[in-house]
Amino acid sequence: MVKLNKIYTRTGDDGTTGLVDGSRAPKHSARMVAVGDVDEANSAIGLAAAALGETDRADALFRIQNDLFDLGADLATPADDGEDFEPSDMVLRVVAGQVSWLEQAIDAATAQLEPLTSFVLPGGSENAARLHLARAIVRRAERSVVALSKEDAVNPQALAYINRLSDYLFVAARLANEQGRADVKWVPGANR
């Protein structure tokens, strides 16, 4: 259980931030950029969920938001040498079941959609546009997590989760566009 009695600590005034293991990292490090980008993605998903109201789709996004906090905690916990990235009572890690849930949600959504015959522009309805914006932010977060993985060990399930998440948001945006019927199609070279 997290308990925050005071929001500011002043410990970050020197440009570092505390990690889960008690160590400190520069706020501009690849690790903190990844954590920050995941946080930004989570906020964009929250904005999309708020617009959906009380629906099953919003509930799925709330579940994803919780998973993104798990992902942030995973990324904020440097790996020990030779770590297998299994969670424990002391270490929170993204697990295969979270990735599998996303894959099943993608498959279920895709089954409700017309097949794509063109790339789609990130828009259509306001709800779809919000989901597309969240998808683009998740893609940036994924690039940051991949960059971190080139410097330090990263949980493979964390990488898989953030990769699947943008796919989920894409199909969720299409669902928000009347099961894809209101998607805005890309017309290559239309304005030449």
Query: Does the residue 13 lie in any domain?
Result: no
Query: Does the residue 2 lie in any domain?
Result: no
Query: Does the residue 131 lie in any domain?
Result: yes
Domain with 101 in it: 27-76+91-184
Q: How far apart are CA 157 and CA 185, in angstroms?
A: 33
Q: How far apart are CA 113 and CA 116, in angstroms?
A: 8
- pTM equals 0.90
Query: Does the residue 99 lie in any domain?
Result: yes
Query: What is the predicted pLDDT for the residue at 11?
Result: 61
Q: How far apart are CA 7 and CA 18, in angstroms?
A: 14
Tens place of pLDDT for every residue, the chain, 192 residues? Answer: 566 666 677 766 677 777 777 778 777 889 999 999 999 999 999 999 999 888 899 999 999 999 999 999 999 998 887 777 887 777 899 999 999 999 999 999 999 998 888 899 999 999 999 999 999 999 999 999 999 999 999 999 999 999 999 999 999 999 999 888 888 899 899 899
**Total domain count, the chain:** 1
CB atoms within 10 A of CB 182: 14
Q: Looking at residue 98, which CATH number applies to its domain? A: 1.20.1200.10
Q: How far apart are the first and last CA of the chain?
A: 58
Query: Does the residue 107 lie in any domain?
Result: yes
Query: Does the residue 85 lie in any domain?
Result: no
Residue 48's region, left for phi above 0, alpha for psi from -120 to 50, else beta, is alpha
Query: What is the predicted pLDDT for the residue at 17?
Result: 78
Query: Does the residue 84 lie in any domain?
Result: no
Query: Does the residue 112 lie in any domain?
Result: yes
What would the two tokens of residue 166 be? Answer: 């943008």
Query: What is the predicted pLDDT for the residue at 4?
Result: 64
For strand 120-121 and strand 184-185, is the pairing parallel, antiparallel, or unpaired?
A: antiparallel
Q: Nearest CA to 16 among 27, 7, 29, 32?
A: 27
What would the two tokens of residue 21 be? Answer: 């293991």
